[in-house]
Amino acid sequence: DAKYGETVGAVVVLRADAAEDALRGHCAEHLASFKVPVRIVALDAIPKGPTGKLQRRRMAELIGAG
């Protein structure tokens, strides 16, 4: 973003019949344009710590925000 220096990214687990382009198209159809992810990282599983909590910092690193 020119004003804030931030962009939207997403870390997702895709179904077998899904594709990143389809996800981006769905987001563009249902979200405001500034909320559509610029970068999408597809994983087999969302990273979790030993207690089962989502590792938000790890996900930020994966999309290049960390």
How confident is the model over 1-38, as pLDDT tens digits? 677 778 888 999 988 888 888 999 999 999 998 899 98
pLDDT: which is higher, 36 or 64:
36
Phi-psi region of 33 (alpha: psi -120 to 50; beta: other; left: phi over 0): alpha
In order of 19, 45, 54, the CA distances from 27 in angstroms are 13, 21, 22
What is the rounded average pLDDT of the residues 34-61?
92
Say what the pTM is: 0.73
